[in-house]
Amino acid sequence: MTDLAATHRRLVDLGLRRATLLVDPARARANIARFADRARNSGVTLRPHFKTHQSADVATWFTEANVACATVSSLGQAAYFADHGWRDLTLAIGLNPRELPEVAALARRVALGVTVDHLGQVASLAEAAAPVGVWVEVDTGAGRAGVDASDPGSAAALLRAIERAPTLAYRGLLTHAGHSYGARPHEAATIHQASCAALAGLREHLRAAGLPGGLLSAGDTPGFAAVESWTGLDEARPGNFVFHDLMQLASGVCSERDLACAVAAPVIGVYPDQRRVVVHAGAVHLSKDALQRPEGPMYGRLLTMNATGFDRLADEGVLVSLSQEHGTVALASEGTTRAYEPGDLVLIAPVHSCLTCEQFGSYLTVAGERLARYVSASSSRPDSASRASGGRTNEV
């Protein structure tokens, strides 16, 4: 039996019938343990970003690794994890003043940190009298959000406004070095070190002006994966590392054995003369993030399974195009393609696990256990477990 045939049999044994997101807990736990060890050895608090998995069940694996605080990217996520016992949360996205009632309500339940880079955000927080911790977001090169690291005047103005508000507590300086994505390990390490140095330099400017420097917090999986020591920071907020993905693999910051989530999908078309099969897994299952190659974009790769979980990437089978519901897998030969039949099940490693997980309302482990996840009230994402078994499509 070939690896792909064995994978099909394992997926059939799980009772899968439709596109389903599978998680390998052993791999995810190993990824968590590796980063928790680095944080502990560096004297840094690991505050992982939960936007990748958004699952209270997965979050318990972090608790087992003695992680007690987390990062989120929406108030809905924050409330969900607060409901599941998390009491120290940072909302690492710019404050939306229109959500101040929700911010204030949540801040009375948990130790809540928010991020600002504009005086108007601080003024809104002060008017709402929300008892929150406030991070000043700093742009250390990603160009997305935050005050420029070379502009201590703007950071100082924000800090003074925070200090004038009796209900606000200044936490420190926070950055996301998103420009590390796509970089090779030595480049990601350089970006990480430069970002940390920029934060430290800005803190010294603030202290020289008679202001509190606060804590330093950074978060990006490639940078933290590329360096063994995280000293110089107070907090680390990577998130993607729990599952990793083909993007991280292509950059060289993880290995195949670190890939911990994948999408199982049925074959719905077989075209031997074109050396391709079509699967019912499209952009609504995998997102449209792609890795660029000379021969064209890649949206995923076939992954194999063994008796205990995920195994290795298949020698062939590249997802080369996506529409809303369809995915096209290119194979090496006409003979290989003829081995497939409609209804066969394949497993696809995603390019970007964060966006792929976002497409599903729940997950299944490789042992068939359901993992619940946060789904916003306005979402139409289906419950993956219901889709898997062919039951009624639920919204959870």
CATH number at residue 44: 3.20.20.10
**Single-letter amino acid, residue 204:** E
Residues 307 and 197 in one domain: no
Predicted pLDDT at 396: 23
Determine the structural domain holding residue 275 and report its residue range. Answer: 3-23+260-389
Contact 34, 12 (CB under 8 A): no
Residues 95 and 212 in one domain: yes
Q: Is 254 contained in some domain?
A: no
Domain boundary among 246, 277, 310: 246
Q: Is 45 contained in some domain?
A: yes
Q: Is 251 contained in some domain?
A: no
Could you tell me which of 270, 327, 338, 284 has the C-alpha nearest to residue 302?
Answer: 327
Residues 93 and 17 in one domain: no
Q: Is 345 contained in some domain?
A: yes
Domain boundary among 246, 268, 295: 246
Predicted pLDDT at 335: 87
Q: Is 187 contained in some domain?
A: yes
Predicted pLDDT at 11: 97
Residues 238 and 382 in one domain: no
Q: Is 176 contained in some domain?
A: yes
Residues 39 and 169 in one domain: yes
Which of the listed ranges 39-48, 174-183, 220-229 does the model predict with the highest average pLDDT? Answer: 39-48
Residues 47 and 178 in one domain: yes
Predicted pLDDT at 81: 98
Instruction: Give dist(CA 79, CA 103) in Å, integer.
Output: 10
Could you tell me which of 28, 30, 78 has the C-alpha nearest to residue 51?
Answer: 78
Q: What is the mean pLDDT of residues 347-365?
A: 97
Q: Is the pLDDT of residue 389 over 50?
A: no
Q: What is the mean pLDDT of residues 347-362?
A: 97
What kind and span of H or E run contains 122? helix 119-128
Q: Per residue in 177-220, pLDDT tens?
A: 889 888 899 999 999 999 999 999 999 999 999 999 999 999 99
pLDDT band at 7 (very low <50, low <70, confident <90, very high): very high
Residues 128 and 275 in one domain: no
Q: Is 340 contained in some domain?
A: yes
Domain boundary among 246, 276, 311: 246
Instruction: Give dist(CA 5, CA 3) in Å, integer.
Output: 5
For the record, the structure tokens of 189 come out as 């390490």
Residues 42 and 14 in one domain: no
Among 52-56, 94-98, 234-238, 336-340, the least confident range? 336-340
Residues 352 and 226 in one domain: no
Instruction: Give dist(CA 49, CA 90) in Å, integer.
Output: 9
Could you tell me which of 52, 25, 6 has the C-alpha nearest to residue 240?
Answer: 52
Residues 270 and 187 in one domain: no
Predicted pLDDT at 390: 46
pLDDT band at 384 (very low <50, low <70, confident <90, very high): low
Q: Per residue in 107-154, pLDDT tens?
A: 999 999 999 999 999 999 999 888 999 999 999 999 999 999 999 999
- The mean predicted confidence, pLDDT, of the chain is 94
Domain count, the chain: 2
Q: Is the pLDDT of residue 386 over 80?
A: no
Residues 70 and 203 in one domain: yes
Residues 18 and 33 in one domain: no
Predicted pLDDT at 182: 85
Q: Per residue in 233-292, pLDDT tens?
A: 999 999 999 999 999 999 999 999 999 999 999 999 999 999 999 999 999 999 999 999
Nearest-5° Cα angle at 206, 200 to 209: 145
Q: Is 252 contained in some domain?
A: no
Q: What is the mean pLDDT of residues 10-15?
A: 97
Residue given tokens 């290795």 in the structure block: 312
> What region does 141 belong to: left with phi over 0, alpha with psi -120 to 50, or beta?
left
pTM of the complete model? 0.94
Q: Is the pLDDT of residue 348 over 90?
A: yes
> What region does 312 belong to: left with phi over 0, alpha with psi -120 to 50, or beta?
beta
CATH of the domain at 329: 2.40.37.20
